[in-house]
Amino acid sequence: MSRTPARLLPLLLVVLALLLIAASRVEPMRSVPPEADEMNNLYFSLGSPAEILARTPYDWVPGGFLIMGGWSALVGLHPFVLRWLPLLTFLIGCAFVYRLLGRWRRRAAALLGMLAYGGLGLHVFLSIYMRGYAYPLALLPCAFWLTARYFDHPSWRRALPLALVMVAMFYTQLTSAVAFAMLGLFTLFVYRARVWRWWLPGVMALPLALPEILRQRDILAGRLQGIPARDLPPLGQALADLFVNYAGSAFAVWAILLLVAAGGVVVTLVRGRGASAISLSLLVWVFGAPVAMYVLNDNLGFFSGRYSWWIALGIALLIAWGLALLPRLGQMGAGLLLAALVLAPLPPTGYYMPTLPLLENFRWLAGQWRAGDVLVRDPGVDCGTPETWEIALRVFFPNGVVFDSAARDHARIWYLARDGAEDPMLRASIRAGRAAGRFVGPPDCLFRLYEAPPDAAGVRFENGMRFHGMQVLDERGLVWNAPVVRRERDSLRVRLWWSADAPIDRDYSVGVFLSGSDGAVLAQTDSSPQVILPEGAPQETSRWQPGTFYVEERVLTTPDALSMGAARLALAVYGWWDGVRLGAPGLDETGLLPLAEIALAAW
């Protein structure tokens, strides 16, 4: 509280910038489904540290898996929650960009740099991407800041945190090794003759990194000897495509900002003003490093935004460094523009690989699942990786799912198949005695419910209609098996199951009645059957076909005033032309078939 408002304002702006960056990620965190690589990463992160180390792929480093494993043990496996880990980690990197530019004695650039770093499209993607990229994105700005501290005033106390940060980068992302080369080149530009002082943090870091270096030596040697060539477009087109990948959907605006900033920096260099060594190093970083990655692609294979992620930091720093040369009003305008770019949407393609919405399907399925349900997978369906299935089942079905390979006598079966390419015998056995109901998913990964009626034998009315039972539905449209209670003006939604023993000669009506203990009708619905399944089925009973279940739904509303007690739900089948109720076994003296008892409650 002793600080003056003028000194608190920069802190307030930093906090607002970090909140803006975090808020901009919430929508894609929720709406963009994880891709297969992310699900594999989560699978590798399951279990104890020893199990994670044993499961780590040979060409990856274990740090990211260990961190994600600890985070998932703390917060659970839901992808939306897990995506907060890379985001929160990335925010640390944004804060270190601010500290780095402040240490370079250009305070005006610090806030601009934070917004630029947080707004680049690649960073939006990687900051919610559940793989090991967010950690070096956070640590590289920290490494540059620690490098400046160490080379300005060398000591072992300043060398040690620098060494630890570099080791952490190496153990979380193997491509950090190339970023270290950029860090060394930067110190060569800025500190020149003092570059030899790298020996101290190098000596501290090497013993810690050596075990992983030895484990990865064959891979590293293979990259140096050359990897299978990947065709690249001509240099100009390749550089433009790479910049679009860094910038995202607003790449044209980013290009203008970069050119304006670079032009300003070049002018200051020509005039001999400003920190020429830093300015020159940033220009080489942004415009020279992509060319080097293009030339070395046959050896490294890193000419892509994701593998050359460290170039994006140079772009953000150069933009901030150059825009800070503008007059104060221009700096404010640039800051507002960068804040707007933070909110630019991720392009629908370009970062994520197209993937089936398996997690969304399982989220929906978990809300529909009932005790006793089984899942049958058609042998012809290939839907999601095994790792994706394991994560989805752990998240949405922690108590497990019953799988079966055949229909048997299950009352409710969720059949997963490729629509139009099902196994004919399996599909026929599942449909036999069951009605096709709700479904979710694309044609290649379609979950559909096949449900047997509550009463397979049913009650036959004299016109050939057969009633197979009633179900009460809750507000979500799911079957409610517990005792039913209703109050004044409550809705009672019921599902009725029918079939036809033979073609029916006329169109009949169905009435459903809710009566009080004194026999007075409290609510009723009378009409032709309100068929919802099968889809597109006729409402007219004269068009019903034998061998098919017809499922209808009705809604009754209780009156304004009720007395405590029990009510009876019943139905009748009658001809609309004369109102005469048809006979069937189990009817009462009024021609109604009792269905259920409903408890009535009143205030």
What average pLDDT score do residues 338-348 get? 88
List beta partners, residue 550.
Answer: 498
Q: Residue 6 pLDDT > 70, yes or no?
A: no
Residue 224 CB contacts under 8 Å (≥ 6 apart), including other chains: 299
How much of the chain, in percent, has pLDDT values that exceed 70? 96
Q: Residue 2 pLDDT > 60, yes or no?
A: no
How much of the chain, in percent, has pLDDT values that exceed 90? 70
What average pLDDT score do residues 538-543 get? 95
CA-to-CA separations, 226 to 62, 134, 357, 433, 594, in angstroms, rounded: 25, 28, 37, 62, 80
Q: Residue 395 pLDDT > 50, yes or no?
A: yes
Residue 162 CB contacts under 8 Å (≥ 6 apart), including other chains: 143, 146, 147, 149, 150, 201
CB contact at 8 A, 279 and 286 = no
The residue ranges of DSSP E strands in 483-592, in sequence order, are 485-486, 491-500, 508-515, 521-527, 531-533, 550-557, 565-575
Residue 38 CB contacts under 8 Å (≥ 6 apart), including other chains: 79, 129, 130, 131
CB contact at 8 A, 218 and 177 = no
**The pLDDT of residue 564:** 77
**The pLDDT of residue 219:** 65
Give the count of beta carbons closer than 10 Å to the beta carbon of residue 117: 31
CB contact at 8 A, 114 and 98 = yes
pLDDT digits (tens, 9 = 90+) for 294-328: 998 887 788 888 899 999 999 999 999 999 999 99
CA-to-CA separations, 343 to 122, 133, 245, 340, in angstroms, rounded: 13, 21, 17, 5
CB contact at 8 A, 133 and 173 = yes
- Burial-class residue 561 by CB neighbours within 10 Å (0-12, 13-18, 19+): exposed
Tokens representing 228 are: 């299978």
pLDDT class for 1, splitting at 50, 70, 90? very low
CB contact at 8 A, 80 and 28 = no
pLDDT class for 60, splitting at 50, 70, 90? confident
3-state secondary structure 378-439: CCCCCCCCHHHHHHHHHHHCCCCCCEECCCCCCCEEEEEECCCCCCHHHHHHHHCCCEEEEE
**The pLDDT of residue 226:** 53
Model confidence pTM above 0.85 = no
CA-to-CA separations, 121 to 118, 224, 252, 361, in angstroms, rounded: 8, 30, 12, 28
Give the count of beta carbons closer than 10 Å to the beta carbon of residue 590: 11
Q: Residue 561 pLDDT > 80, yes or no?
A: no
Residue 299 CB contacts under 8 Å (≥ 6 apart), including other chains: 223, 224, 225, 226, 227
pLDDT class for 223, splitting at 50, 70, 90? low
Computed over every residue of the chain, the mean pLDDT equals 91
What average pLDDT score do residues 23-33 get? 88
SS3 at position 319: helix
Q: Residue 244 pLDDT > 50, yes or no?
A: yes
Fold classification of 459-600 (topology level): Immunoglobulin-like (2.60.40)
CA distance 360 to 386: 16
CB contact at 8 A, 43 and 391 = yes
CA distance 308 to 239: 12
pLDDT digits (tens, 9 = 90+) for 80-111: 899 999 999 999 999 999 999 999 877 789 99
pLDDT digits (tens, 9 = 90+) for 437-496: 989 999 999 999 999 999 999 999 999 999 999 999 998 888 888 889 998 889 999 999
CB contact at 8 A, 283 and 291 = no
Q: What is the DSSP string of 95-158?
A: HHHHHHHHHTT-HHHHHHHHHHHHHSHHHHHHTS-SSTTHHHHHHHHHHHHHHHHHHHS--HHH
CA distance 496 to 467: 8
> Would you report the helix, strand and coil content of the chain in percent, each value rounded to 5?
50, 15, 35
Q: Residue 136 pLDDT > 80, yes or no?
A: yes
